Amino acid sequence: MSPSFKLQCHFILIFLMALRGDSRYPELREAAHHDPFLLLSASLKRELAGEPLYRRALRESGARLAATGCLDMLSLQGQFTFTADRPQLHCAAFFIGEPEEFITIHYDLVSIDCQGGDFLQVFDGWILKGEKFPSSQDHPLPTTERYIDFCDSGLSRRSIRSSQNVAMIFFRVHEPGNGFTLTIKTDPNLFPCNVISQTPNGRFTLVVPHQHRNCSFSIIYPVAIKISDLTLGHLNGLQLKKPSAGCGGKGDFVELLGGTGLDPSKMMPLADLCYPFRGPAQMKIGCDNTVVRMVSSGKHINRVTFEYRQLEPYELENPNGNSIPEFCLSI
């Protein structure tokens, strides 16, 4: 089994936890044997309007995970409590919303010993295996400002809002009985920029209105991408990227990236779309992670509409047509 395929299996299992709102590894192993898209049912995608606030405890590690710490992932709004029953030294919880949502993390109650080595940090985005999303190139804040440490700010900053639809916390608690309670809420994002898709199939329109910024839409599956509309500030055309060519001279363009990790800046550029057109233009990308990335100068209203679907196993085994097999070991 190739290292990239192992990474893909590990990440998809973690990702399914977020869709389910649960992260106990026995349940995770069970979920891996079922259709993952059943986890997206309406009962799991809970709407809280008019309902009591959803509450549950964050998971602690089981015996098999004690060496690596505790991990949880959630796609539900609600109130979540962590109470250590023994020293927990390497813990994290990942949060994900819909593409058009910000995530707000609110400290309800925190009881940790900062002087004794405990900590509780919010990170604006996700980090997995040392890679960040959004990348440092795409996020509006420097990396150091994306970490908010409770032991530095205390309750003077009770609510922290993410810049995109994903956020996470890191924490360490030495003393049994100590812990914290958080409330997770989402707010509308009228112009979502950096997004991790909760699903392997979908349709999305990325709009950057007169803003000098880079935006990445990440799909953590091998997929077929079909671009139906691209509006930039300038003619028509689609070209595969070559070492001596590309859109580097243009201030506004879209690129398709593929790779095995989470950080778009570490992925392979597969194609450049330098000029406006009305599609469809389709490409199969057999990478563990596929990213549609828009670079904008701020001079125009840029927009790209695309559909994506997960590649079937036979498509990965027998790539043909407009596909990019040589950059991705999974193909």
Instruction: Convert the pLDDT of each residue in 297-331 to its tens digit.
Output: 888 899 999 999 999 888 887 666 555 544 564 33
C-alpha 48 chain-centroid distance: 22
Question: At residue 5, does pLDDT exceed 90?
Answer: no
The residue ranges of DSSP E strands in 150-266, in sequence order, are: 159-161, 166-173, 179-188, 195-196, 202-209, 214-219, 223-231, 239-240, 253-259
Per-residue pLDDT at 122 exceeds 60: yes
The radius of gyration of the chain's CA atoms, rounded to the nearest angstrom, is 21
pLDDT at 41 over 70: no
The mean-pLDDT minimum among 22-36, 223-237, 243-257, 259-273 falls in: 22-36
The amino acid that residue 296 corresponds to is: S
User: Tell me, what's the pLDDT at 218?
Assistant: 97
Q: Is the pLDDT confidence value at 289 over 60?
A: yes
Torsion of CA 9, 15, 19, 21, to 10 degrees: 110
Beta pairing partners, 98? none
pLDDT in tens, 136-186: 999 999 999 999 999 998 888 899 999 999 999 999 999 999 999 999 999
Q: Check residue 306 and give its pLDDT.
A: 96
Within 10 angstroms of residue 98's Cβ, the number of other Cβ atoms is 15
Q: What's this model's pTM, rounded to 2 decimal places?
A: 0.78
Query: 47: which DSSP letter?
Result: -
How does pLDDT run across 49-108, given as a tens digit for each residue? 445 666 767 765 433 333 345 888 888 899 999 999 999 999 999 999 999 999 999 999
**β-strands 78-83, 55-57: how paired?**
parallel
For residue 319, the model assigns a pLDDT of 61
pLDDT, position 31: 34
Q: What's the confidence (pLDDT) of residue 180?
A: 95
Q: Residues 177-223: pLDDT tens digits? A: 999 999 999 999 999 999 999 999 999 999 999 899 999 999 999 99
pLDDT higher than 90, residue 232: no
